[in-house]
Structure 1
Amino acid sequence: MIAAASDAIWDNRAACGRMYSVTCTGATNLGVPQPCKGGSVVVKIVDYCPPPGCQATIDLSQEAFSQIADPNAGKINIQYTQV
C-alpha cells in the first residue's frame, strides 16, 4: 500500500519511505455521506504530492483508499500516525 505526501509531512524528502497508519474519519463532500468502512491501512510514502494539485496531507493509492473508504467518495477526512 502506497501514498504520496504533501508539504505538510514531506519534510524535504525525509518522509519518503516512512510508514503511516491512516484511518478514515468522515466525509468531505455531499457525494457519499458515510464513506468510511472502518479500520485503518498502513501505507508507505513513495512520492511527493505538490500544490496546487494536492489538497490533502496524504494522497492514498486507489488500493489503499478502497481499504478504508468507498472509492466513490474521492476525498475523505483522515487521521494518521507515523508507524
Structure 2
Amino acid sequence: MAKAAAILLVAALLGLVSASLADQGTATYYTVYTPSACYGFQDEGTMIAAASDGLWDGGRACGRMYSVSCAGGTNATPNPCKSGSVTVKIVDRCPSPGCRATLDLSEQAFNAIGNLDAGKILINYNQV
C-alpha cells in the first residue's frame, strides 16, 4: 500500500514538473488548410497548426510537433476549455501583423481542446 502511494506521489510530482516546463501562449483556429507555407497543396491531415513569427524560426518550424492543452479563456465565453491535449504538426506560418496567437490551430485541433465559440484561448504547449 505504501509503495502504491509513493508511486502515485511521484507521478503527480512529475505531472506538475512537466506542466511547469510548458510554454504558455494563445491559440486561435483557421479553416483553410492549403496551400501551406511548408507543404504547398500537400494534405497533412487535420491535426495541424500555423506557427507565429516567434515559433516560425525562419521556416525551420515546418514539421515540428507540439503538444497543446487549453489553460483558460481570453474572453467571457463560458467553459472555454476541454480536458486533455492534442498533438499538432506545424505546416504553415501565421505571419505578423495579422496573426493573433502563438499557434493558429486547425479547427479540428482547436475543437479537441477548446470551445470553438471562444475563438481564442490560453494554452500550454511543448515541442514533442
Asked if Structure 1 and Structure 2 have the same fold, meaning a TM-score greater than 0.5 normalized by the shorter chain, the answer is yes
- The offset of 1:8, in angstroms, is 1.0
Q: Partner residue of 1:73? A: 118
Residue 10 of structure 1 aligns to a residue in which SS? helix
Identity of aligned residues (%): 66
Question: Residues 27-66 of structure 1: matches in 2 within 5 Å?
Answer: 27-30=73-76, 32-66=77-111
Structure 2: 5+ residue stretches without partners: 1-46
- 1:13-60 C-alpha deviation (Å, 9 max, x unpaired): 010100000000000011x13210110000000000001110211100
Match of 2:6 in 1: none
Point out which structure has higher relative CO (alpha carbons under 8 A, 6+ apart).
1
Please state whether the residue corresponding to 1:29 is helix, strand or coil. coil
> Given the alignment, which residue of 12, 15, 29 partners 2:58?
12
Q: Determine which structure has the larger helix proportion and give its number.
A: 2
In structure 1, the gaps of 5 or more residues are: none
Q: Which contiguous aligned blocks of 4+ residues in structure 1 show a shift greater than 6 angstroms?
A: none
1: CA distance between counterparts of 2:115 and 2:60? 30
Distance 2:78 2:57 in 1: 33
Q: TM-score, normalised by structure 1?
A: 0.95
Q: Which has the larger radius of gyration?
A: 2
- In the TM superposition, residue 75 of structure 1 has moved relative to its aligned partner by 0.3
